[in-house]
Amino acid sequence: MIGLHNLSKHYDDLRAVDDVSLSIETGSVVAIVGTSGSGKSTLLRLVNRLIEPTAGHVTLNGQDTRDMPAFELRRRIGYVIQDHGLFPHWTVARNIATVPRLLGWPKDKIRARVEELLRLLSLDPATIGPRFPHQLSGGQMQRVGVARALAARPELLLMDEPFGALDPVLRGKAQADLRAIQQTLGSTILLVTHDMAEAIRLSDRVAVMRAGRVEQFGTPAEILSRPATAFVRDLVGEGERAFRFLSLIPATDLAEEGAASGQPLPRTATASEALDALIWQNAEALPLEGGGRISRAALLRAGHP
């Protein structure tokens, strides 16, 4: 459990972060969403003390983070940034080994861990490991950045716009991969994004920030169905509310008995993907892989709280 207690960061008259309290359950993903200048990146950097707060403090599994040297704290917290910040003079393997080396792990343990992480992120240890960052594609660099952050099994992973530099296709793939990895490892993640759809897709709880304050902190469903302020409503976007809501529901939840013709939907599909497929194929119902079907009526019923 990570606790942010009344955190504030003031720069002269500017209140970049203003009395923010949040708690992040172990093993869950919290997304901080806001427009630029809302203080969301500052808030993230207060957690690993890249910035020291004006007031308030952070607890990491019950321990006050002010009680340890900042560099030790940072070795316990993974940090992923938009431009990935890979060390250009080190190979991929050496980059991933950064924190384990700082912690003085034995060499063979580091080597095994680097290999394990490269595999986890579907990078081939033999070909990608010895390469230098400039020899990688954008998507590969992003994954190496995540691998480096995960290397020493951090208690918390901080991600600042981790997919911001990727094109939409790669971004969708990277988001799905992150969710899968998070579920496999049970990582605790605090993620910053300006993209509400990304926040809804990836997180268990969303904190909406504006002018240094948290306007609403709730589950994606709560944010979508009961936006606390006009700002949150604007950010959710009224035009796509129903689709966002459907994207939270697994299609299998809406399955009913019976058969239907047409291209079967994968069992991992969300209700929003199911509706999209129905509209596109102009079908009343579509079969679900492995049995059952999903009807248009069920989807329309599910599309609002």
Partner 1 sequence: MKRWPALVLLAAMLAFLLRPALFVPLLAPLAPEGAPVIYDRAGLLSLTLAHLALVAGAMVPATLVAVALGIFVRRPAGEAFLPLSRVVTGFGQTFPPVAVLALTVPVLGFGTWPTLLALFLYGLLPVFENTLAAFSALPPSVVEAARGTGMTPRQRLWQVELPLALPLILDGVRTATVISLSTATIGSVVAARGLGEVIIAGLTSQNLAFVAQGGVLVAVLAILLAQGFALLSARLR
Residues found near partner 1 in the complex (CB under 8 A): 48, 50, 71-76, 79, 81-89, 98-99, 102, 148
- Least Å distance, CB 282 to partner 1, is 48
Q: Is the dihedral of CA 175, 181, 182, 187 positive or negative?
A: negative
Q: Which is nearer to partner 1, 33 or 97 (CB)?
A: 97
Helix then strand then coil, % of the chain, to nearest 5: 45, 25, 35
Block residue for tokens 């792990």: 105
- Least Å distance, CB 166 to partner 1, is 15
- Least Å distance, CB 77 to partner 1, is 8
Q: Which is nearer to partner 1, 11 or 87 (CB)?
A: 87
- Least Å distance, CB 83 to partner 1, is 4
**How many other CB atoms sit within 10 Å of the CB of residue 305?**
10
Bridge partners of 20, per DSSP, are 7
CA distances from 86 to 8, 136, 217 (A): 30, 11, 32
- Least Å distance, CB 81 to partner 1, is 6
- Least Å distance, CB 149 to partner 1, is 8
**215: which residues sit within 8 A by CB, 6+ positions away?**
208, 209, 228, 229, 231, 232
Q: Which is nearer to partner 1, 80 or 285 (CB)?
A: 80
270, 217 in Cβ contact below 8 A? no
